[in-house]
Chains A and B, each alone.
Chain A
Amino acid sequence: MSSLAATVEGIGFWNDGLPSWPQARAFAHGAPAAADAPRRPAPQLLAPNERRRAPESVAVALDVALAACEAAGRDPASLPSVFASTHGDLAITDYICGTLASAPRTLSPTKFHNSVHNAAAGYWTIGSGCMRTTTAISAYDASFAQALVESLVQLASGEDAVLLAAYDSPSSGALSPVSRSEGLLGGALVLSRRAHGTRLRATLVDGDAPAASGPLARHAHGNAMAQMLPLFDALAAGGDVALLRAGPGRVLRVELAHETQAHDAPAREAQA
């Protein structure tokens, strides 16, 4: 296929001990993880009571999405968005299946509407007042690669910029050994057609992605969205290629051309 391309305008990140992209990038360069980091993100887009009640998957998705928009100097309400999660909220799936097996009529209506795969996408558009399109996808261990392709295809179809947010939350209960996921992990990118900044070029090819070995990939390896970390490791450490699983026998090859901070800063100011 022909390549798809974009500029990375902003990055958001959250993982246990690495509650921001600057901290994740420092960790990738050898700094220790934060011992006193919050155990759960507090997404500022939600009202305080909703912030506490929101499922963990929603909390991490909204936190990294907003961080990426802020880093890009983009108004969240202006961006179409793509949300990707391998499993959705596994704790809610565990609750629903357990409740149905014992007392189905007691099922919580709030847990039910929070169980939809597009819960994070929904709360994002509600919290940011965004009426643009949003989608929620899964492609198992290729979820991130397929979401990146959809984001780039939206740019190719005429969008000026698009928000991509990927996340998974810890598994729970009887489902844990079957649908494995540990810790909380989220990553977000604001991608655009702007010329200046770190450029990303993606191509789907045949093959199998090698096991990831970067610092972030090792740190969050137990999470189902660890599949995205080859790209975040490359973004953090200045790597020029990331190979992402894109389905059976398929790889999304992502090439990066980093631009220096000096070029980056004025472009962001101009945008803001």
Chain B
Amino acid sequence: MPSLAIRRYTATTALGRGRAVQARALRERAGGLRSNDFGDGALASERLDCWIGRVDGLEDAPLPAEFARWDCRNNRLAWLALQQDGMAEAVAALRERYGAARVALVIGTSTSSIGATEEAYTQLDDGAFPAAMVRSNIHTPHSLGGFVQAATGLRGPCVTVATACSSSAKVFAQAARLIQAGVVDAALVGGVDTLCGSVLFGFNALGLVSAQPCRPFDARRDGLSLGEAGGFAIVERDDAGDAALRLCGYGESSDAHHMSTPHPQGLGAQFAMRDALARAGIGADAVGYLNLHGTATPANDAIEAQAVGALFPDTLHASSTKGWTGHTLGAAGIVESVFALIALEDGVLPGILNSAERDAACGAQIRFDNAQRDIAYAMNNSFGFGGNNCSLVFGKAA
């Protein structure tokens, strides 16, 4: 495919707000997980013994008054992320340049603002939502897309993609298609997911939450740490061919295996990675860094490492950054794309935090230590429930 320009990107995670904070934390191997301190009421009295990647300050940062009807934790994080790295200004400039109807908004989430719905259920008055919570616009998956649309004034196609943990990787693919088909000239893509009872107790019910900070690809790994995050990127036509950073390829596939267990041979993951490399027109040996899905669950990591081993030479530097941020679910795609873009720009190739004991089932591509070197292409894998897989290839000008 013709590569697309990425002229601005940002992320806000447990590491802090904006690109520079993420880059420094990755370089200095300073993680953002903390002992679980999330939630009130039943969420607090039944609090799970685990570690989380929580974004500070959301409780004290209501949305501006004009957006009050959208106010909830998830949209607060969307707003906060949008204010970093000049993203809001860049979107306004994009709107001016192309016209609001020629810019798409494609944004991913797993649970959107279901945290607000959970909250309403703890405050039922004779079985009914309290008046302040009767806001149909937030008790639905498109709360996120609807809010960001209102906040940015974009009038092109506006979609919330919700394919669990691949959501905000797939937004790049959908945006690329919209641009390629001539429907729009540019797109604001991104993803936001916030901590809530559904994901904490849901993943706990599946037996997938570790009591320790997660240890991706460690032989002793025993589950994930959940996190929250928001991030955005601007994807544009690159007619002049002068973009420093580019989206070069995407690949999407399905496992066709199980709702919450990956395909035993990682076949779907392989298809997604092969498809992304083919669209980028590069061989596997051209990739300098691969940000893995690497959730730190026993099954995911072994299968993903096997799929990577089947495709890539031993010289590849591949890692999971979930030890820094936790698994940010529907935001993982954008956060880890931002990390891949940082690797391209700064030459910082993250290793893995918290992990020390290599798993014999994982190949030489899996790197625990950071590395520093100039690379031409970086990839990101995001896989979700339902066997939903997406891989992205980013590149930079030679």
- Which chain A residues have a beta carbon within 8 Å of chain B's beta carbons? 1-2, 4, 77, 86-88, 93, 96-98, 100-105, 107-109, 112-119, 121-123, 125-126, 128-140, 142-143, 146, 149-150, 152-154, 156-157, 174-175, 177-180, 204, 206, 246-250
Given A104-B201, A113-B259, A133-B252: A142 in contact with B158 (beta carbons within 8 A): yes
Given A104-B42, A122-B259, A175-B139: A112 in contact with B202 (beta carbons within 8 A): yes
Nearest to A122 among chain B residues (CB) is B386
Tell whether, in the assembled complex, residue B201 and residue A114 are in contact, meaning their CB atoms are under 8 Å apart. Answer: no
Tell whether, in the assembled complex, residue B158 and residue A146 are in contact, meaning their CB atoms are under 8 Å apart. Answer: yes
**Please, which residues of chain A bring their CB within 8 A of the CB of B162?**
88, 116-118, 136-138
**Please, which residues of chain B bring their CB within 8 A of the CB of A88?**
141, 162
Partner of B114, one of A97, A132, A143: A97
**Please, which residues of chain B bring their CB within 8 A of the CB of A109?**
202, 205-207, 260
Tell whether, in the assembled complex, residue A126 and residue B43 are in contact, meaning their CB atoms are under 8 Å apart. Answer: no
Given A122-B259, A131-B256, A204-B183: A139 in contact with B202 (beta carbons within 8 A): no
User: Which residues of B (133-177) have their CB < 8 Å from a CB of A?
Assistant: 133-137, 139-142, 145-146, 149, 155-164, 170, 173-174, 177
Tell whether, in the assembled complex, residue A131 and residue B160 are in contact, meaning their CB atoms are under 8 Å apart. Answer: no
Nearest to A159 among chain B residues (CB) is B177
Nearest to A146 among chain B residues (CB) is B159
**Please, which residues of chain A bring their CB within 8 A of the CB of B67?**
none
Identify the interface centre among A113, A129, A154: most chain B CB within 10 Å of its CB.
Answer: A113
16 A-B pairs whose Cβ atoms sit less than 8 Å apart in the complex: A87-B141, A96-B202, A101-B41, A116-B162, A116-B384, A121-B388, A126-B387, A135-B161, A135-B388, A136-B162, A137-B161, A139-B158, A150-B159, A156-B181, A178-B135, A180-B136
B376 at the interface (CB under 8 A from A): no
Partner of B163, one of A97, A135, A146: A135
Nearest to B198 among chain A residues (CB) is A96
Given A112-B198, A131-B253, A250-B155: A136 in contact with B42 (beta carbons within 8 A): no
A122-B252 Cα distance, complex, nearest whole Å = 13
A28-B139 Cα distance, complex, nearest whole Å = 33
**Please, which residues of chain A bring their CB within 8 A of the CB of B268?**
131
**Please, which residues of chain B bring their CB within 8 A of the CB of A104?**
42-43, 46, 197, 201
Partner of A153, one of B135, B142, B170, B178: B178
Given A125-B386, A153-B183, A175-B117: A131 in contact with B271 (beta carbons within 8 A): yes
Further 15 A-B residue pairs, CB within 8 A, beyond A115-B198, A131-B267, A178-B135:
A96-B202, A97-B114, A100-B43, A100-B197, A112-B198, A112-B205, A116-B385, A122-B254, A129-B256, A137-B161, A150-B177, A154-B177, A174-B129, A204-B101, A247-B158
Tell whether, in the assembled complex, residue B181 and residue A157 are in contact, meaning their CB atoms are under 8 Å apart. Answer: yes
Q: Which 6 A-B pairs have the closest CB atoms?
A: A122-B386, A117-B162, A112-B202, A133-B252, A156-B181, A125-B254
CB within 8 Å: A-B pair count:
237
Partner of A4, one of B110, B146, B181, B385: B181
Given A100-B42, A126-B387: A113 in contact with B142 (beta carbons within 8 A): no
A147-B346 Cα distance, complex, nearest whole Å = 37
Nearest to B197 among chain A residues (CB) is A100
Tell whether, in the assembled complex, residue B177 and residue A178 are in contact, meaning their CB atoms are under 8 Å apart. Answer: no
**Please, which residues of chain A bring their CB within 8 A of the CB of B157?**
146, 149-150, 204, 246-247
**Please, which residues of chain A bring their CB within 8 A of the CB of B256?**
77, 125-126, 128-131
**Please, which residues of chain B bring their CB within 8 A of the CB of A157?**
177, 180-181
